[in-house]
Amino acid sequence: MANPEATAEAAGEPDSPDAELRAQAAELFEDIPRAAEPPSGRPVTRAKVDLGAMLFFDPRMSVSGVFSCQSCHNIGIGGTDQLETSIGHGWQQGPRNSPTMLNAVFNAAQFWDGRAEDLAEQAKGPVQAGVEMNNTPENLIATLESMPGYVEAFKAAFPGEENPVTFDNFALAIEAFETTLVTPNSRFDQWLMGMDGAMTEQEKRGLAAYMDAGCSTCHAGVNFGGQEYYPFGLVEAPDPEVRPEGDVGRYQITQTEEDQYVFRAAPLRNVALTAPYFHSGQVWDLEEAVRIMANAQLGTELAEEQAQDITAFLGTLTGEQPQVIHPTLPVRTGSTPLPAPIQQDVGEGKAAD
């Protein structure tokens, strides 16, 4: 969807040397707003956000008391854990790279295979995954209900409910908090809205090359991706270490043959912060990732200057990072379930990512 304001800016400055490029970009991309709402339209209140922040940072939401949402989606380092694949309960290594939660509210669905419709549904996955937090809804609720601080916070976030401490409300509170994790005012956004000097000449060349090469076919919109599903290896399959044969992507969800090795197009906002790349986490260099995608998805061998320019452009997608104060968490009581030994036998749940 075109951004009306950016389009107006482009149309209103015909003498700008960037006017033509900006008008072309405005047809494909949108700037990140400073505030977002969940696609469901569910209300986001201050009480829900504050509760969601506590739940996001609290490692006691895992059965061992070691892992929190923040463990794998660290807000201070781009919303990821910067590991190839995440480490969870029993020090197990999950099968996929942890996707960023920054700007995740703008994605059409969550997880690499898109199996969660929204952020609330996504929030329930890692809690129950045997190789992540390895908890159960029952133990989670018992933990929350044992602490008066949480009971009061749930009452404030969900007023009028007879029993507000529920697994559904746990997920809704995390969703509310995650809608605040947006990164507006990137240099690209500034440029899109009319500030010619916000990007260098190399970065502008990179934007033009990005569009001309066809990168914007899959990575466009407000989040530069996160909307559609494509085979990883649309033209040519990447090396097996980059696309492991054992992970068939969306096929695991749909059991539809055409979904073999199909994944949601990764959103590219803040991509310069979120190495390593791809669902396998096997590529640490952004320029190398650009070359792999051009070859695998577009059948294009980028010239050295093209790859460097596109990589430089992608650096302009880094926005203002969320400034989050770690919340003070409710105090446990004598009835709070004790943490389970981290080396205990794990459950059957699959890794959520």
Number of H helices, E strands in the chain: 13, 4
- In the annotation, is 301 catalytic? no
C-alpha of 155 from chain center: 29
**293 in a known ligand binding site:** yes
CB-count exposure of residue 90 (10 Å: 0-12, 13-18, 19+)? middle
Distance CA 222, CA 21 (A): 17
**101 in a known ligand binding site:** no
Q: Which of 9, 30, 132, 203 is flagged as catalytic?
A: 132
**73 in a known ligand binding site:** yes
**1 in a known ligand binding site:** no
Tell which residue, 205, 213, 209, has the closest CA to residue 235: 213
User: CB count, 10 Å around CB of 23?
Assistant: 17
**279 in a known ligand binding site:** no
Query: Given its phi and psi angles, is residue 79 left (phi above 0), alpha (psi -120 to 50 degrees) or beta?
Result: left
CA dihedral over 330, 336, 339, 340, signed as positive or negative: negative
CB 249 within 8 A of CB 288: no
Phi–psi pair at 231, nearest 5 degrees = -65, 135
Q: Output the known binding site for heme c.
A: 69, 72-73, 89, 215, 218-219, 293
Please identify every residue annotated as catalytic: 132
